[in-house]
Amino acid sequence: MKDLKLIGPFSQLLTMNGLLEKGPLDDSALEIIENGGVLIRNGIIQKVGKYDSLKNDIKLPKANLIHIDEKTVGLPGFIDPHTHICFAGSRANDYAKRISGKTYLEIAREGGGIWQTVQQTRQADPDQLYANTLNRAEKMLELGITTAEVKSGYGLNMEDELKMLKTIDRVHKNAQIDLVSTCLAAHMVPKDFNGNSRQYLDFILTELLPQVIQNGLSRRVDIFIEKEAFGEVDALYFLQKSKVLGFDLTIHGDQFTPMGSQVAIETGALSVDHLESSTDKEILALAKSDVISTVLPGASLGLGMPFAPARKLLNAGNALAIGSDWNPGSAPMGNLLLQASLLSTSEKLTNAETFAGITFRAAKALNFHDRGKLATGMLADIIAFPCTDYREILYHQGQLRPSIIVKKGNKID
């Protein structure tokens, strides 16, 4: 009895249970429990149901109740499947050039872009990088994100890639949000690397990744497939070898050029992320595969470019996840709910599709099967917004903030 907790009542509890893993979702399919409650044991959900019946059935002492006095709508904690929050410095200079008309690729060719952040992140001492990353992770948690993926990719050499991955691990251990790290050393060929792109990928495969494994720093590998980064042939080679080493795969693909999603399908990647330039061909091929389509509206907002074709992806039968892509260059905002709600107005997504994209479908993109829904056996990651109708959440376009955040059964004050 000591380790049991009951939280509630929630005016509405949006469990995200019983929804399809792929394809369109109608709001009528949402399971909504009025006056709901969640029974928790050791951070895991024991039961979800009506608050009063859970309370009467078990007769918990007062000390085991987390009673909610205000009217709220509860949901599973949000999951951000794609971020780059471990970085130093600012790219306000790039942003100024971009809003006055220069393109992302033009800025990169002039020596701005990712390379500028690489130099600033290399210079940062580990404690400074830790403080920056912790601060951003805490902001995400305040916005209701209880799990987030974070990539390396601003080190691009042995020492600084390991520094980034160790920093992400340190924040994961000390913050209340769960962070999942991904090695994105294949973000670009560093300008100071003595060799071609294949030689750089070989350095990652034979020198860096064994260190990542040995130090238990990441189980995921990512690569940026794009004209200014890595080609499809090199990416295929790199990902197949990474897979043999035991890494889960994810890909930055189809952002400016439709290249990347085919590689994701061939290598059995968990997800391909971006997809702004995907055509019907890529959309249909992805729909036939198990690859999650992760779209990143924050990058479209930061770059002033159209959103990825989220509606088309869903209609074709894809599993759509939504990430913030929080990074210092193309997506400096870092507000997933705001971005998801703007995406839903432009792309005509239902509440069910939008929330699925930042809960259980995002969990799947990270290979998690223990979160993203409020159901027996799932982690007790619960957030609640101060309203009585779940539709208020997207309606306020990111301005309504969660008033209650519970991580693994612990209410965060």
HEC-encoded secondary structure of 109-144: HCCCCHHHHHHHHHHCCHHHHHHHHHHHHHHHHHCC
Residue 36 or residue 323: which is nearer to Zn ion going by CB? Answer: 323
Shortest separation between residue 7's beta carbon and Zn ion, angstroms: 34
| Nearest by Cα to 361 from 310, 400, 405, 303 | 310
Shortest separation between residue 398's beta carbon and Zn ion, angstroms: 20
Residue 122 or residue 274: which is nearer to Zn ion going by CB? Answer: 274
Residue 181 makes CB contacts below 8 A (sequence gap 6+) with 149, 150, 151, 152, 165, 168, 169, 172, 217, 218, 220
Amino acid at 193: F
Shortest separation between residue 84's beta carbon and Zn ion, angstroms: 6
Residue 15 or residue 327: which is nearer to Zn ion going by CB? Answer: 327
Residue 37 or residue 329: which is nearer to Zn ion going by CB? Answer: 329
Residue 94 or residue 325: which is nearer to Zn ion going by CB? Answer: 325
Shortest separation between residue 279's beta carbon and Zn ion, angstroms: 21
Determine contact, residues 99/48, Cβ cutoff 8 Å: no
Shortest separation between residue 171's beta carbon and Zn ion, angstroms: 18
Distance of CA 280 to the CA centre of its chain: 25
Q: Which two tokens stand for residue 298?
A: 């924050």
Residue with tokens 């008033």, as numbered in its chain: 403
Residue 276 or residue 325: which is nearer to Zn ion going by CB? Answer: 325
Residue 226 or residue 325: which is nearer to Zn ion going by CB? Answer: 325
* Residue nearest to Zn ion as judged by C-beta position: 325
Shortest separation between residue 329's beta carbon and Zn ion, angstroms: 9
Residue 47 makes CB contacts below 8 A (sequence gap 6+) with 38, 39, 54, 376
Residue 257 or residue 410: which is nearer to Zn ion going by CB? Answer: 257
Residue with tokens 């830790």, as numbered in its chain: 130
Q: Radius of gyration (Cα) for the chain, nearest Å?
A: 21
Q: Count helices and strands (H / E) in the chain.
A: 17, 16
What is the b/e burial string over 337-369, where b = at least 16 CB atoms within 10 angstroms of the residue's CB? Answer: bbbbbbbbeebebbbbbbbbbbbbbbbbbbebe
Residue 39 or residue 338: which is nearer to Zn ion going by CB? Answer: 338
**What is the Cα–Cα distance from 311 to 104, expressed in whole angstroms?**
25
Shortest separation between residue 327's beta carbon and Zn ion, angstroms: 6
Q: Which residues contribute to the site for Zn ion (CB under 5 A)?
A: 325
| Nearest by Cα to 84 from 151, 147, 133 | 151
Shortest separation between residue 325's beta carbon and Zn ion, angstroms: 5
Shortest separation between residue 5's beta carbon and Zn ion, angstroms: 37
